[in-house]
Amino acid sequence: MSATVATPTSVDVLIIGAGPTGLGAAKRLNQLKHSNFLVVDAQAEAGGLASTDVTPEGFLFDVGGHVIFSHYLYFDDCINEALPKPDDWYEHERVSYVRSKGAWVPYPYQNNITMLPVEEQVKCIEGMIDAAEERARASTKPKNFDEWIVRMMGTGLADLFMRPYNFKVWATPTTEMQCEWLGERVAAPSLKHVVSNVLNKKVAGNWGPNATFRFPARDGTGGIWKAVAKTLPQDRFKFGQSVQRIDATNKVAHLSDGSSIAYRSMISTMPLDQITEMTDEAANLRDVSRGLVYSSTHVIGVGIRGVLPPRIGDKCWLYFPEDDCPFYRATVFSNYSPYNCPQEDVKLRTLQTADPALSAQVDTETERAGPYWSLMLEVSQSTQKPVDEAKLLADSIQGLVNTGLCSPDDEIVSTYHRKFHHGYPTPSLVRDGQLKQLLPELRDKYAIWSRGRFGSYKYEVANQDHSFMVGVEAVDNVLFGAPECTLESPDWVNGRRNTERRL
């Protein structure tokens, strides 16, 4: 797409951000033949936090762990229109494990403790019995995520997995998070089934909305959103420009190239804490928005020469609660699509072995052919969980060796490291009160619909399908005053297949 298309100086709806939420809004406006809109994005192409990067050596890495599973037929219609051919997609069954006590425990961990040492199984079962007795006595709801974990799973599972893993993900203690966001995301174990599985030495089957998922054959997750953008009029996009200041009184957005765009309504997907800073009239909201809690995310990619080893097999993504690696999740990204790596005949130089001490034993000068496979890692960061950014890539590669994902002599031919300042919107104890003040005031006083993963700060509706539909429903609210079901009723939309709206 070109950023040189003539830009209107006045629009009915100005959309900030060309990620899933912004594209959902644009798609709905275009469907309704409401052509007077413009999408502005600081990047060179669509995708936002669902984009894909390519290393110089030709390895693809998504900007985080993204897969396609959907609660909405409208979302399905849109991505199927964008990528309509059967060979545009791969279908996968989730094969996911937790690395714990030297074992690979099938996901969800809490249903598969039979894989743990006997003494750990005992701690978990005793904890679940105590938790069941506590639930029978309890007359009030848990006050925070930590209390929910203990009440639903017991202290054994809490200490082995739930507390350390969630701290690695959120970079926030579980005592400082609410539990209303959980919904379908965390499986509460059945004591009866857990004990039966332990005694019969069985593991539980797949659970959750992403037990099966799709992934694009080519161009990674970002390819989906570039394809969706191509189904829209190209003169409705302005790439390579960011919003610098918003004059909400006169409804004018000032851009980084010095131009300005007047609007009647704005749908903004930039972080909520940022838009209050750049909106002149929203100074009274800044103290509240500055209290929103989030963590940063580092995405680490490693491209490796060789045949995919049996220790990896058909694994999709893996969880790491322990402290022998900095990452909380690893994705075997080459298993999603063979096109996520260079093809076998591509010749690349070895950069190092997984254990750098062994690098002298291999040829690091000559370009040699593959095959290749790849791993994508995610590391969280916050003031409560600092990381040494300069050493993070090296520490992550050492973590791959520590956890058995890489052998010390594996040849690394490509690396990738990118930090996302806003990575996870944290469901803090005070978040809902903050959002009840910030979102309505921006909308009602300034005609700014702040929406999306960080625009509305609701992690429970921040997957790709949710984010897209938040944009669609924002348009219906702007134009018709229709309710925004995804934003306002996360449990309702997550607990059903939403079939009412079609493309």
List the CATH number of the domain containing 263: 3.50.50.60
18 pLDDT above the threshold of 60: yes
State residue 337's pLDDT score. 95
Maximal CA-CA distance, the chain: 70
108 pLDDT above the threshold of 70: yes
203 pLDDT above the threshold of 90: no
Q: In the structure, what pLDDT confidence band is assigned to residue 350 with cuts at 50, 70 and 90?
A: very high
Q: Which of 390, 425, 460 is the last residue of a domain?
A: 425
What one-letter code names the amino acid at 73? L
- Cα–Cα distances (Å) from 304 to 301, 348, 368, 392, 455, in that order, read 10, 10, 12, 18, 37
**Which of the residue ranges 39-53, 178-192, 339-353 would you say has the lowest mean pLDDT?**
178-192
H-assigned helices in 116-183: 118-137, 145-157, 163-170
On whether the CB atoms of residues 282 and 451 are closer than 8 A, the answer is: no
89 pLDDT above the threshold of 50: yes
59 pLDDT above the threshold of 60: yes
Which residues, listed in sequence order, are joined to residue 329 by a DSSP beta bridge? 319, 378
2 pLDDT above the threshold of 60: no
pLDDT (mean) for 294-302: 98
In the three-class reduction of DSSP (H, G, I as helix; E, B as strand; rest coil), residue 105 is classed as: strand
209 pLDDT above the threshold of 80: no
Residues 265 and 347 in one domain: no
**Which of the residue ranges 181-195, 215-229, 275-289, 341-355 would you say has the lowest mean pLDDT?**
181-195
Q: What percent of the chain has pLDDT over 70?
A: 95
Residues 237 and 312 in one domain: no
Residue 361: CB atoms within 10 Å:
10
Integer Cα distance of 350 and 385 in angstroms: 33
In a domain, 328, yes or no: yes
Encode pLDDT of 255-274 as tens digits.
999 999 999 999 999 999 99
State residue 470's pLDDT score. 98
Q: Which of 200, 231, 255 is the last residue of a domain?
A: 200
In a domain, 369, yes or no: yes
- Cα–Cα distances (Å) from 98 to 113, 142, 278, 378, 495, in that order, read 11, 26, 42, 15, 26
Q: In the structure, what pLDDT confidence band is assigned to residue 41 with cuts at 50, 70 and 90?
A: very high
Count Cα neighbours of 212 within 13 Å in the Cβ-side half-sphere.
2
184 pLDDT above the threshold of 60: no
In a domain, 377, yes or no: yes
Integer Cα distance of 184 and 193 in angstroms: 19
Residues 392 and 458 in one domain: no
What one-letter code names the amino acid at 309? P
Residues 395 and 325 in one domain: yes
Integer Cα distance of 11 and 266 in angstroms: 10
In a domain, 208, yes or no: no
Residues 278 and 315 in one domain: no
Range of the domain at 159: 109-200
Residues 156 and 226 in one domain: no
Q: In the structure, what pLDDT confidence band is assigned to residue 208 with cuts at 50, 70 and 90?
A: low
In a domain, 211, yes or no: no
Looking at per-residue pLDDT, the higher value among 87 and 182 belongs to 87
Q: In the structure, what pLDDT confidence band is assigned to residue 101 with cuts at 50, 70 and 90?
A: very high
Residues 166 and 260 in one domain: no
Residues 437 and 485 in one domain: yes
5 pLDDT above the threshold of 50: no
In a domain, 40, yes or no: yes
State residue 213's pLDDT score. 85
Which residues, listed in sequence order, are joined to residue 353 by a DSSP beta bridge? 411
On whether the CB atoms of residues 477 and 25 are closer than 8 A, the answer is: no
- Average confidence score pLDDT of the chain: 92
State residue 289's pLDDT score. 97
Q: In the structure, what pLDDT confidence band is assigned to residue 117 with cuts at 50, 70 and 90?
A: very high
Encode pLDDT of 161-170 as tens digits.
999 999 999 9
State residue 447's pLDDT score. 97
In a domain, 92, yes or no: no
Encode pLDDT of 426-464 as tens digits.
999 999 999 999 999 999 999 999 999 999 999 999 999
pLDDT (mean) for 411-428: 97
Residues 418 and 464 in one domain: no
Closest CA to 450 of 420, 484, 419, 424: 484
Q: Are strands 10-16 and 37-41 parallel, antiparallel or unpaired?
A: parallel
Residues 288 and 304 in one domain: no
Residues 6+ apart with CB under 8 A from 409: 353, 354, 355, 358, 361, 362
Which residues, listed in sequence order, are joined to residue 265 by a DSSP beta bridge? 13
Residues 302 and 410 in one domain: yes
Q: Which of 425, 443, 463 is the last residue of a domain?
A: 425
On whether the CB atoms of residues 343 and 384 are closer than 8 A, the answer is: no
Residues 310 and 392 in one domain: yes
In a domain, 99, yes or no: no
294 pLDDT above the threshold of 70: yes
391 pLDDT above the threshold of 70: yes
Q: What percent of the chain has pLDDT over 90?
A: 80
The structure's pTM equals 0.93
How many structural domains is the chain composed of?
3
pLDDT (mean) for 227-236: 97
Can you point out the beta strands (E) in 269-410?
A: 294-305, 317-319, 329-331, 352-353, 372-381
State residue 195's pLDDT score. 86
pLDDT (mean) for 135-151: 91
